[in-house]
Structure 1
Amino acid sequence: MCLNRIYWVSSSKTIRLDRFLATVTDYSRSDAKRLIKAGEVSLDGSLLTDPRAAVAEDADIRLRGQPLRSAQPRYFMLNKPQDYVCAARDRRHLTVLDLLDEDNPEKLHVAGRLDIDTTGLVLLTDDGNWSHAVTSPKQRCWKRYWLRTAEPIAEAAITKFAKGIFLKDDKQRTLPAELEILDSCEARLRICEGRYHQVKRMFGALGNAVIELHREAIGGIELDETLEEGEYRPLTAEERASVTTPNE
């Protein structure tokens, strides 16, 4: 087993020592207890041997001399291929988490899911407030898609999308959306919601079918064109800050 990384954050909260060690390293809780009892962990230079000890998350805790700190939130963009689902686990399909080479990937979640056959920008984080700002309709975080349809797109669709469309089994119209027709069967669409299969259902309500769908942007975050399908990278500070959380 190995340490994840050295993380730094200031906090006055306390946490059980064995839980802290298991959280910021790759060690299991039982392995953490063993290491503590073996005298491998110190606090401010003094050995700690009780796994139940309550320690501050910003204390100078060291494992074999290496400092440990609580993990900072993580933010990634990923270029999702087809045939991957946006879920933590799935019995039948690979998930986007399977594409990550990160410590504790199961602690990450998708901020704005895509269907299994939809490609493009997926955001992953362990920051709940930030992901809520991405996905909540009240935050009006716009998503931009490129799409191809089975039939030509009527010009009247622009006005209908802007007004909002009643989807089957939904009681309210979709929020106003911006449709740009690029070719007879090709368009870009901007929406600020994330209803179930929304883009496909919007076109379905007009008697058309979406046969290709690719997400290009979420808010001010554009999919990095250098990322091949299945590749990912951390968000920049500017990209993270472009999503304003409700408490900011």
Structure 2
Amino acid sequence: MRLDKFICKSTELDKQQALLVLQGKKVSVNGDLIIDPAFQVHDNNKVTLNDQVLVPRPFRYILMHKPAAMICSNVDEVYPSAFNLLTFENEIVNTEFKGSDSIALNSDEFHIAGRLDADTTGLVLITDDGSWTYNITLPNSGCKKVYRVGLSKPFKVELISQFEQGIQLQGEAQLTLPASIKIINSKEVLLTITEGKFHQVKRMFAAIGNRVVSLHRQQIGNIKLDVAVGKWRYLTPLEVNYESN
């Protein structure tokens, strides 16, 4: 972990404040004064700030129901950031994590594992654990993502086999990995994929001559969306240690 991130994770300091204490020569690692914010800190290192030993708080794992017209970014842009919804006015479901409820959520520490477009709603996962995110988003992890897809034209049942065999996306050399489809009604389906290519769902249906008019993610791995729009909760330990298959 970067030293500046370690400081943020062990104190109430934000990234800019962490840089200032480093520049002020107030931080040591294993007795050596360090000013490089990118210096890598490991579990067995002793990090001190003003001679006080720093102990990082546990990683945090959050499920959020992202509304439309919000972006998966740490800062507001054309649309507001989904991180604006992270306040402790929300109920903390998992009591095992209540020890951290006195610590303000600093969006600089967090990132979203598997972003959604501004017009896409549903499940997003927010964490400060980069290794956990990597395991979820790794292309060969086999982590399933389930989307409820609204279409501009009726979906033909005979096209299911094409998704099961793989779809040829424009600009891609290889077919998509096998996907599964369950028809809800003539213009709405449940699509399960194990990849995360750029705009993959929209491109898959475009490839068969249809257009996605609404998109909602309701599941990642074994983690299911179960909170109201705009709300969030901490993941349970079982969800954090999920098995992708």
Instruction: Report what 1:167 is aligned to.
Output: 169
Q: Distance in 2 between matches of 1:191 and 1:19?
A: 33
Indicate how the Cα distance of structure 1 residues 26 and 147 shifts in structure 2: closer, same or farther if over 3 A, else same.
same
Q: Please state how far the C-alpha of 1:207 moved relative to its aligned partner.
A: 0.8
Q: Distance in 2 between matches of 1:183 and 1:235?
A: 32
Q: When you count strand as a share of all residues, which structure comes out higher?
A: 1
Pairwise CA distance, 1:72:
1.7
- Which letter maps to 1:86? C
> Which of 124, 127, 136 in structure 1 is aligned with 2:126?
124
TM-score if structure 2 supplies the norm length?
0.76
Q: Return the match for 2:213 from 193, 211, 223.
A: 211
Deviations for 1:175-228, whole angstroms, at most 9, x for unmatched residues?
A: 00001111111110100011111111111111111111111100011111xx22
Cα distance in 2 between the residues matched to 1:20 and 1:150: 48
CA distance in 2, matches of 1:52, 1:61: 6
- 1:62-211 aligned at under 5 Å gives the runs 69-101=55-87, 102-211=104-213
Task: Please list every run of 5 or more consecutive structure 2 residues that lacks an aligned counterpart in the other structure.
Answer: 32-42, 88-103
Code of the residue aligned with 2:58 in structure 1: it is: Q
Bigger Cα Rg: 1
Is contact 2:63-2:233 (8 Å) kept?
A: yes
Between the aligned residues of both structures, percent identity stands at 37
Amino acid at match of 2:69: D
Structure 1 match to 2:26: 51
Deviation at 1:237, TM superposition (A): 0.2
Distance 1:215 1:80 in 2: 9
The DSSP-based 3-state class of the residue aligned with 1:180 is: strand
Q: Secondary structure at the match of 1:94?
A: coil
- Point out which structure has higher relative CO (alpha carbons under 8 A, 6+ apart): 2
**Distance in structure 2 (CA, Å) of the matches to 1:198 and 1:19:** 32
Measured in 2, the distance between the counterparts of 1:30 and 1:238 equals 36
Q: What one-letter code is carried by the residue in structure 1 that aligns with 2:198?
A: Y
1:75–1:240: 8 Å Cα contact kept in structure 2?
yes
Q: Is the 8 A contact 2:62 2:233 kept in 1?
A: yes
Partner of 1:235: 235
State how far apart, in whole Å, the 2-side matches of 1:20 and 1:122 are: 24
CA deviation after TM superposition for structure 1 residue 241, in Å: 0.8
TM-score normalised according to structure 1 size: 0.75
SS in 1 for 2:150: strand
Deviates more, 1:97-106 or 1:108-117: 97-106
Relative to structure 1, the CA distance from residue 202 to residue 55 in structure 2 (aligned partners, 3 Å threshold; closer, same or farther) is same
SS of the aligned residue for 2:189 comes to: strand
In 2: Cα distance, 1:168 partner to 1:19 partner: 39
Once the two structures are superposed, residues 1-56 of structure 1 have per-residue CA deviations (whole angstroms, 9 ceiling, x without a partner) of xxxxxxxxxxxx9x7xx9965542223248858xxx9xxxxxxxxxxxx8244458
How many residue pairs end up in the alignment?
A: 212
Quick one: distance in 2 between partners of 1:132 and 1:139? 9
Distance (whole Å) between structure 2 residues aligned to residue 166 and residue 239 of structure 1: 33
Change (3 A) 1:107 1:52: closer
- Structural RMSD (CA): 3.0
